[in-house]
Chains A and B, each alone.
Chain A
Amino acid sequence: MNKTVSAETGVKLYVNTIIKNKSGLIGVIMILFFVALSIYAVTNFSNVSHQWENSIYWETYPKNAMPYWMSYFNPNKIFATEAITTKPSIIYSSNTYDIYQLNYNFTWYKEMAPTDVVFYIKTNSPIESIQILWIKPDGTNITLSTTSPVSVSDLITYSSSIDSYITEQIGYVPPSTTSQTLSQALFGYEGKGLLNGTIEKGLYRISITIVTSPNTKILLNKVYLEGNAYGLFGTDSYGRPIDLGILLGFPNALEIGLLTSIISVIGGVIIGGISGFLGGKTDSAMNWVTLVILVLPALPFLVVLSYIMRPNLILEALLIAFLSWPFYAIIARSSAQSIKNETYVEADKVLGIPSYRTFFTHFLPRLTPFAIAYTALGVPGAIILVETLSFLGLTPAGLVTWGSILNSAESNLAAVNGWWWWILFPGVMIILVSIPFVMIGFAIEKAVFGGK
């Protein structure tokens, strides 16, 4: 093998190798797909990402819903949210107040009550009072009312009405009422067995009466029969769809992973390359600096710095790069030393070509393929570090990351409650996005070092 391949044919060779290597090719395709997803996320959902921490924004979404495709296994117990709407009719109007009535009909044949019922009435001025008559298929009914009417109300809003209804039916005060129990009360047969899980099937009617100030318009109205299944990956305790969060996390993961890896590899290759190239005192000094950074306990150190600096994405990339370049410097240094021992560099010295030129003509080109391999291999490490920091609550401000989703899964006791989709999918994404980089890195590594 001719050792003095020019850099250009060298790089071409590696590109070829990656693409020819089956796993390398799969890696490239996967990355292109992820990049496309990222672009899609950035162009279509950047406004949603600003709302991510705003729980009101997600109010009408089902909470802790499992992935929708789970309903395939048990459609009567696992189902999506249904929304119904109606045409409001004005039943009284005066110059002091207006009364509207909204009548909804729906049929319910599932084995389980909705996880919650959300009433959404958007008006152009505040609602002064609201009363809901809930009529079950057998004609029994319950009236829900609240002292503080709002435009979006769920069953918890009416818990005092429902609680007293339950007490009346079963004969004692219910121990604790979740949205699910409240909903069961609205769907169960009246009597002692109200909460035993049986569901009255058939046509339900809801009649909502609201009192508003005069000339108020109802802009939108909806009743959500909240399901327990939503979207590809379900929702979290705030109703945020996991699939959306994952999508929003894509550009951030890729950006920071690539940025960090590129900065640290370039830094490491230049520092290690120069160090190995120059040798002597400079080499010892640079080696010492490398060692100083290398011995810092990386994660604790990074956690300290992220905690006190609260970095944005770029600064965080720089911080991680600052702690990881020594690994590349060490390898680059030893490569540079072995290149240096090769005769043509010696020959250059004899010919008196200034050494900086030798560095750029002989060293950097030879280190390029090496740098590409390590950049690819460095990306997963960087992504995992960032997601780890996020998981510890150190997400760069304003970003949605998979680590931050997992962080809220942990603090909302997802493991205890069995909300596996909240834990599983964001983590799987970390793996999925890492794998192609590892595969490409291994493929180049094989091409660069395997041929010897």
Chain B
Amino acid sequence: MGYKTYLIKEIIIYVTVLIAAMSLLYILTYPVIQEVLKATVQTEAEGFKQAILKHASGHGNLNLTSINILVNKYKASLMAAYGLNQPLYLKYFIQMKNLLIFNFGNAYFLTAPNGSHKVYAIIAAYLPYTIILFTTGTIIVILVGTLLGLLSARYAGTVWDKLVPTIAVVHSSLPTWWLGFLLIAALAYAIKIFPPGGITSIPPPKSPLMYSINMLYHMALPLIAFFIVNVGGFAYVVRSLVISTTKEDFVMTAKARGLSDSRILYRHILRTASPSISTQVALAIAGSFAGGLTTEIVFNWHGVGWLTYEAILLNDLPVILGINFVLTVILLLALFINEMIKGYLDPRIKAGE
């Protein structure tokens, strides 16, 4: 199989996976959201009717039938706006087509800070804040985690070796949002060292420099929480990958060849384990775009996680679908890029399987 066919095959798989995942989301959320929208239309129409009636009572030239016609017209326009009057299959196809061309339509209720109702504008407004916080955090976690994992794999039987599994237990048992909540209570309210939440102070500082410093100051606490919880997990994965590679035959023969321990670790073992580590890095970075939904809520950090939750509470289907679509695309892209990087790092894969 040539590399090109391999590539095309992979792309087909990834695109179909994307469509299937979105269809699943659409089908599962469809019935309830439709109900909610119908109810919304009903209440809005009712409100409209009351308003007319109140208005009409002063004039008397509007009879009940003409009012009803007006209300029904209004209702129909609302139904159209929410896409409620099309047949199901059509709604589905239109929705999928629109998703695939990144046309997420208008939000039902939410707006971007600049007032736009466009879903992509809303997502585009919130995503950067998630990236600033969680992608930064993830990169720090990856760097420190890799270092700790290597130290622990290298100095077997020492404190380093014991440290990593211990902090990995922390990773597996500690919710970030709870740690954040506790840190807010302790370091933002009890001892007032850090701000309790938000992206900047209100009102934000004017000068760009002060603005950045202020934002970093607000990032500190969520970053600390994120770091504490996640560094152990990454270190543990790196450690396991390195240790399992260390058990392979080539390590013993490398030693027999007179290569130094550090040369074996950093050149041979790390290089051999790097495709697997790269997968972990790709998944971690892709995951960081979803943000810590709960962590963002706790810290009142208005990123994608926070936006998702707002959209869910408001039943804002286009926003929910849009966010999920974007996140899924990011994850699939990361997996795809990872395949390419792995192919580059591992000669066994480059051959095209």
Chain A residues engaging chain B, CB cutoff 8 angstroms: 288, 291-293, 295-297, 299-301, 303-305, 307-309, 377, 380-381, 384, 387-388, 391-392, 406, 409-410, 414-416, 418, 420, 423-424, 427, 430-431, 434-435, 438-439, 442, 449, 452
Q: Mark B162-202, 1 if CB is under 8 A from A, else 0.
A: 00010011101111011101101110111000001000000
Given A307-B312, A388-B294; A415-B175 close (CB under 8 Å): no
Complex interface: chain A residues within 8 A of B88 (CB): none
B21 within 8 A of partner (CB): yes
Would you call the interface of chain A mostly helix, strand, loop, or mixed?
helix
Residue of A nearest to B289 (CB): A297
CA distance A293 to B305 in the complex (A): 20
User: Which of chain B's residues has its CB closest to A309's CB?
Assistant: B32
Of chain A, the residue at the smallest CB distance from B165 is: A442
Bound Cα distance A11, B172 (Å)? 25
- Indicate if the CB atoms of B24 and A392 lie closer than 8 Å: no
Distance in angstroms between the alpha carbons of A424 and B13 in the assembled complex: 46
Interface size on B, residues (CB 8 A): 52
Of the residues A301, A415, A434, contact of B25 by C-beta under 8 Å:
A301
Bound CA–CA A212/B189 (angstroms) = 49
CB pair A296 B328 closer than 8 Å = yes
**A308: B residues at CB distance < 8 A:** 29, 32-33
How far is B179's CA from A430's CA once the two chains are assembled, in angstroms?
11
Main secondary structure, interface of B, reads helix
In the complex, are the beta carbons of B247 and A452 less than 8 A apart? yes
Bound complex: CA of A452 vs CA of B244, how far in Å?
A: 9
* Alpha-carbon distance between A151 and B308 when the two chains are bound, in angstroms: 46
Interface residues of B (CB under 8 A from A): 13, 16-18, 20-21, 24-25, 28-29, 32-33, 165, 168-170, 172-175, 177-179, 181-182, 184-186, 188-190, 196, 244, 247, 290, 293-294, 297-298, 305, 308-309, 312-313, 320, 323-324, 327-328, 331-332, 335
Assuming the A-B contacts A300-B293, A300-B308, A435-B169, are A291 and B24 also in contact, with contact meaning beta carbons closer than 8 angstroms in the complex?
no
Name 22 A/B residue pairs within 8 A (Cβ), A-sorted: A292-B17, A292-B20, A292-B21, A295-B21, A296-B24, A297-B328, A303-B312, A304-B28, A304-B320, A307-B313, A308-B33, A381-B172, A418-B189, A420-B185, A424-B182, A427-B178, A427-B179, A430-B178, A431-B173, A438-B169, A438-B173, A439-B169
Instruction: List chain A residues, Cβ under 8 A from B244.
Output: 449, 452
Nearest-neighbor residue (CB-CB) of A419 within chain B: B185
CB distance from A242 to the nearest CB of B (A): 14
CB-CB < 8 A to A431: which residues of B? 170, 173-174
Which 8 A-B residue pairs are closest in the complex by CB-CB distance? A434-B173, A415-B185, A308-B32, A427-B178, A297-B327, A292-B20, A438-B172, A300-B308
Complex Cα–Cα for A296 and B174 (A): 23
Return chain B residues, CB-CB under 8 Å to A430: 173-175, 178
B290, A300: Cβ atoms closer than 8 Å: yes
Chain A residues, Cβ within 8 Å of B335 = 295
Residue of chain A at shortest CB distance from B327: A297
Residues of A within 8 A of B189 (CB): 415-416, 418
List of A residues within 8 angstroms of B173 by Cβ = 380, 384, 430-431, 434-435, 438
Q: Which residues of A contact B308 (CB under 8 A)?
A: 300, 303
| Nearest-neighbor residue (CB-CB) of A410 within chain B | B181
Q: Looking across the interface, which residue of chain B has its beta carbon closest to that of A306?
A: B312
On whether the beta carbons of B178 and A288 are closer than 8 Å, the reply is: no
Nearest B residue (CB) for A319: B28
Query: What would 10 more interface pairs be, CB under 8 Å, given A392-B294, A424-B182, A442-B165?
Result: A291-B13, A295-B328, A296-B25, A303-B312, A304-B28, A392-B309, A406-B181, A420-B190, A442-B168, A442-B169
- Whether the pair B324, A296 counts as a contact (CB closer than 8 A) is yes
Give which listed residue, A292, A391, A423, contacts B24 with CB less than 8 A.
Answer: A292
Contacts of A377 in B (CB 8 A): 172
What chain B residues lie within 8 Å of A293 (beta carbons)? 21
**Given A299-B293, A300-B323, A303-B308: A391 touches B169 (CB 8 Å cut-off):** no
A295 adjacent to B332 (CB under 8 Å) = yes
Complex: chain B residue closest to A383, CB-CB: B173
- On chain B, the residues within 8 Å of A406 by CB distance are 178, 181
Q: How far is the CB of B130 from chain A (nearest CB, A)?
A: 12
A325 to B323: give the CA distance in the assembly, Å.
23
Give Cα distance in the complex from A388 to B293, angstroms. Answer: 10
Give the residues in chain B near A424, CB-CB below 8 Å.
182
B181 contacts A384, C-beta separation under 8 Å: no
A282 to chain B, nearest CB (A): 15
Contact indicator A410/B298 (Cβ below 8 Å): yes
Q: Is B28 in contact with A305, judged by CB distance below 8 angstroms?
A: yes
Residues of A within 8 A of B165 (CB): 442
Using A297-B327, A297-B328 as known contacts, say yes or no to A304 and B169 having CB atoms under 8 A apart.
no
Residues of A within 8 A of B298 (CB): 410
B324 touches A300 (CB 8 A): yes
Residues of chain B with a CB closer than 8 A to A435's CB: 169, 173
Asked if residues B290 and A299 are in contact (CB atoms below 8 Å), the reply is yes
Q: Are B25 and A304 in contact (CB under 8 A)?
A: yes
| A contact residues around B313 at 8 Å (CB) | 307
Shortest beta-carbon distance from A199 to chain B in Å: 26
Query: Which of A299, A300, A308 has the most chain B CB atoms inside 10 A of its CB?
Result: A300
Within the complex, what minimum Cβ distance (angstroms) separates A308 from chain B? 4
CA distance A20 to B146 in the complex (A): 31
Contacts of A288 in B (CB 8 A): 13, 16-17
Q: Tell me, in angstroms, the Cα distance from A297 to B174 when the chains sit together.
A: 20
- Chain B contacts for A380, CB-based, 8 A: 172-173
Task: Determine which of B16, B177, B327 lies in contact with A300 in the assembled complex, contact meaning CB atoms within 8 Å.
Answer: B327
